[in-house]
Amino acid sequence: MWRTTAPRGEILFEVGEYRVRRVSEEDAPIIRKLGERCLEHLELHYGSPPDPGQMIRELLSDLPPRKTLVDKFGMGVFDGTQRLVGAIDVIRDYPEPREWYLGLLVLEPAHRNQGLGAALMDTLTEWLVRHGAAHLRLAVSEHNEAGQRFWARRGFEPVKQVIAEFGNKQSVFHVLRRALEVR
């Protein structure tokens, strides 16, 4: 049986020089700074003006109905100098058993378009499979064309479209899903 809890600071997985670990309230100041470096991501989803503190809520406390913090895995992506450069958020067994939900995968602009996102997804997939996941689901905004292309390349297929309101912005989101097998 694999542990799905990890003490703060324990590395969950690594991708090259990058270390991924769970984050906590103690990390709120560095998560806020990451949000400030990723304002275009926040504006894309939440409208203007974006609130850098939204990323803190996404990683540490936002939950879908009938889920608890035991099911939430807010993770930070740290570079070789231990600087937070990205964030990942997954929810276990949502919306169905053995199907996990990816609520967030964001990298600061300087770490994008270099293959890190794809490498993180490959390693995250391995981690999810070890923890009992059979499928991964996510939603991507219709305004996020680069994200739509990224997820299509990763093998995600459309399930449905939903209209959701975040902050002061209402958008159409494409719900995507993929069976998990290690690539």
Tell me the two tokens of residue 104: 């967030």
* CA distances from residue 55 to 37, 75, 85, 89, 156 in whole angstroms, order as listed: 11, 11, 13, 10, 24
Q: Where are the domains of the chain?
A: 11-132
Q: Is the pLDDT of residue 41 over 90?
A: no
Q: What is the pLDDT of residues 72-91, one digit of tens each?
A: 999 999 999 999 999 999 99
In whole angstroms, give the CA distance from residue 4 to residue 15.
Answer: 19
In angstroms, the CA 137 to CA 117 distance is 16
Q: Which two tokens stand for residue 117?
A: 């996102």
Res 4: pLDDT: 40
pLDDT of residue 124: 97
Stretch 152-158: mean pLDDT, rounded?
A: 96
The residue-averaged pLDDT of 46-75 equals 84
Q: 88, 69, 114: which is closest to 13 by C-alpha? A: 88
Per-residue pLDDT, 17: 95
Cα 42 to Cα 7, 37, 80: the distances in Å are: 28, 10, 25
Q: What is the pLDDT of residue 31?
A: 93
Q: What is the pLDDT of residue 49?
A: 63
Asked: is 11-132 a CATH 3.40.630.30 domain? The reply is yes
| pLDDT interval class at 46 (50, 70, 90) | low
How many angstroms separate the CA atoms of 2 and 45, rounded? Answer: 34
Residue 117 has pLDDT above 90, yes or no: yes
Residue 118 DSSP label: H
Q: 29-33: long-range contacts (C-beta < 8 A, 24 or more apart)?
A: 30/76, 30/84, 31/55, 31/56, 31/59, 31/60, 31/76, 31/84, 31/87, 32/56, 33/84
Average pLDDT over residues 92-111: 95
Residue 3 has pLDDT above 50, yes or no: no
Q: What is the mean pLDDT of the chain?
A: 88
Minimum mean pLDDT among 7-16, 89-98, 101-110: which range?
7-16
Residue 1 confidence (pLDDT):
30
**pTM for the whole thing?**
0.88
Q: How confident is the model at residue 5 (pLDDT cuts 50, 70, 90)?
A: very low
Q: Are 75 and 22 a contacting pair, CB within 8 Å?
A: yes
Beta strands in 40-130 (DSSP E): 72-78, 84-91, 99-107
Over residues 124-134, the mean pLDDT reads 96
